Amino acid sequence: MNFLKYFFVFLPNILFKGMKNLRILSILAFFSVFMACNSSLENAKDSNANNETEKFKNYFVSENENFRINFPTKPIRNAEIMTIDGLQTEIIDYTLSLDSYVYTVAVSPQNTTNITTDDDYTQLLISLKDGFCTDMQLIVEEEKEIRLNGNKGIFFKANSAKYYSAVANYIVKDKVYQIAILTSTGKIEQKKIDDFIFTFKLLKEK
């Protein structure tokens, strides 16, 4: 069984029993990407050494998912279909392991029918952040509100003794975009964050 299937299909029953689906999909998308890539963190530097000259030269564009971002080099697309409340749902991520870092953009559906106020969006973003940090046993060291074409988001850095992360979450209509850098080598420098996370843009406002 692959890591993505394990974390998408079985973790809801183990970790998220009784939790609202409002935040399950997005947390699982991001959490599973991290765990699936965890085993490659130590080996990423050697396996991608020849890609050094390709860093930050071209934007990666996903027309289907309506975004562009400055990946260091071309990522791998992963998709997982899972059944939640009787509905088939596709969760997608674009992931790259390079030089002991994992770069990822995860896209997941989000039911925002009952989210109507600015405070509602804030509470959902906080819930996404807290759920991820709790599950990964990370401590938030920095966080701030961010915006993307007027859409509300949150940026945070969260670390532990073993893992380090920088994450931006955006809610755009019925989707959650989660953009992150993950590593086990130490705190992530601001330049890496600026060169990846904050180059994320929507192709068009849907």
Please give the structure tokens belonging to residue 192: 């890496």
User: How much is the average pLDDT of 76-90?
Assistant: 79
List of domains in the chain: 3-202 (3.40.1000.10)
Using the predicted structure, report yes or no on whether residue 83 has a pLDDT greater than 90.
Answer: no
Mean predicted lDDT score pLDDT of the chain: 76
Q: What is the pLDDT of residues 116-135, one digit of tens each?
A: 888 888 888 998 899 888 87
Residue 114 is predicted with a pLDDT of 77
Using the predicted structure, report yes or no on whether residue 187 has a pLDDT greater than 70.
Answer: yes
